[in-house]
Amino acid sequence: MQIVFTSAVDASDVLVVPISKDGGFTGPAGGENMVAIARAAAEAAKFKGEAGSLVEVYAPFDGTVRRIVMLGIGEGRDAEWRKAGGALTAKLLTVAGSATVLLTGLGDKPSADAIAGFAGAAVQRGWRHDVYRTKLPETSKPTLTRIAIVDAGADAEAAFARVHAINGGLDLTRTLVSEPPNKLYPETFVERVLNDVEGLGLEVTVLDEAQMRDLGMGALLGVSQGSVREGRLLVLKWNGGAADAETLALVGKGVTFDTGGISIKPAAGMEDMKWDMGGAGAVAGAMKAIAARKAKANVVGVMGLVENMPDGNAQRPGDVVTSMSGQTIEVINTDAEGRLVLCDALTWVQKVHSPSTIVDLATLTGAMIISMGHEHGGLFANDDVLADALLAAGKATDEKLWRFPLSDAYDKLIDSPIADMKNVGPRGAGSITAAQFLKRYINEGVAWAHLDIAGMVWSDKPGVNHDKGATGYGVRLLDQFVADRFEA
């Protein structure tokens, strides 16, 4: 979808009139009758201007009758403008070709960031993955291709340039998460990402199974050994900061399909496990966004990619594997595989890139969904300053996080009688013991946070900036975190 910033009202299919909660809108020249009719329609519909609410009416404007949408923006906060942008696209996506948003006449002109957020959410909400739908009715096909914004100002257009870069990352993440597992597996994940980020200036490293075996990545390879699809480690590095500046590492779990392995999952709902690579998908999208907007920071994104399948060669409950760090792991449950992938990726990035800060993302535990539903991702951290920065970034982007505890008491729950640790603890505190497992692979002095996003990468209902399906969660959060913590 194209966003156009203009100073003139054009002949779009729809005129959009943003209205605040107090009704503060006077309208542009030539629109006095339109405003009067619109206000009467709003009163009849009990429209109060709440963010994201809409009323549609046909009214005269500039010598003709136009289709008018009154769009509530609440009190005009940035988050409310984003909500309004998503609501507008949801309303018009399949019933209009173009729309013009009239900012002229608003009592308090919105900030450049608010307008950019509005436009960004409008584009984000229009994303669809219809690649495999061959019989989609014409009335269900997206038609909205252009939104013009009148009198936004040059600052808003500049602010939208960053949002546009982030949207490119979101598109990549959502596509990866949405693809079926017969199309997206470790090798094709790498191909798709590299094709998508080509020309952005990212340094690329790809390790195959032979190379990972030579490095001693027994934990990651143990997960992969039951699949005919070979695992991969994909690394994207952006050198946008000073040569001596600290490096941030983003590490993502990329299980492109998770059957649970020998500890096989129930059949009902297993098709959803195509999105068990949501952490790696978020890292790929964030790296694309960071590179596209030329962030002044040094960031390395590491994605551990495997498929977890039951097979005669699959890892068994009771096996003991040796991770790249040299620590041994008793595998109690092969469906607790994400932490096995992440621990070797964490060790590799610390050995090769020596980051000062690491943030890992993973759809790691069902226990997180039990704890938080689909409203917050879980945050675990060994550093309060890092945790606070991530919480603030989550609040600013509406990709919310909630911090959970770590302690020696939880850590003891994953001690093994025959190895250095086991890959699961007891039933209670499942998300916490998973985080404690990862913490054992973090070097002294490295600030580390783990984001368990199991409930956030896929949605069964539409949201502010997404339809049902892949949400792209994590891309905006990570980009904001980089801007706040490493570019400020």
Catalytic residues, by residue number, are 265, 339
469-481 b/e with 16+ CB inside 10 Å = b?
A: bbbbbbbbbbbbb
d(CA 312, CA 470): 33
Token pair for 38 = 């619109």
Beta-bridged to residue 56, according to DSSP, are: 69
Task: Using alpha carbons, select from 266, 286, 125 the residue that is nearest to residue 202.
Answer: 286
Task: Using alpha carbons, select from 81, 80, 101, 83 the residue that is nearest to residue 151.
Answer: 101
CA angle centred on 161, ends 158 and 164, rounded to 5°: 150
Q: With helix as H, strand as E and coil as C, how does the chain read? A: CEEEEECCCCCCCEEEEEECCCCCECCCCCCHHHHHHHHHHHHHCCCCCCCCCEEEEEEEECCEEEEEEEEECCCCCHHHHHHHHHHHHHHHCCCCCEEEEECCCECCCCCHHHHHHHHHHHHHHCCCCCCCCCCCCHHHCCCCCEEEEECCCHHHHHHHHHHHHHHHHHHHHHHHHHCCCCCCCHHHHHHHHHHHHCCCCCEEEEECHHHHHHCCCHHHHHHHCCCCCCCEEEEEEEECCCCCCCEEEEEEEEEEEECCCCCCCCCCCHHHHHHCCHHHHHHHHHHHHHHHCCCCCEEEEEEEEEEECCCCCCCCCCCEEECCCCCEEECCCCCCCHHHHHHHHHHHHHHHHCCCEEEEEECCCHHHHHHHCCCCEEEEECCHHHHHHHHHHHHHHCCCEEECCCCHHHHHHHCCCCCCEECCCCCCCHHHHHHHHHHCCCCCCCEEEEEECCCCCEECCCCCCCCCEECCCCHHHHHHHHHHHHCC
- The number of residues in the chain equals 488
d(CA 220, CA 232): 10
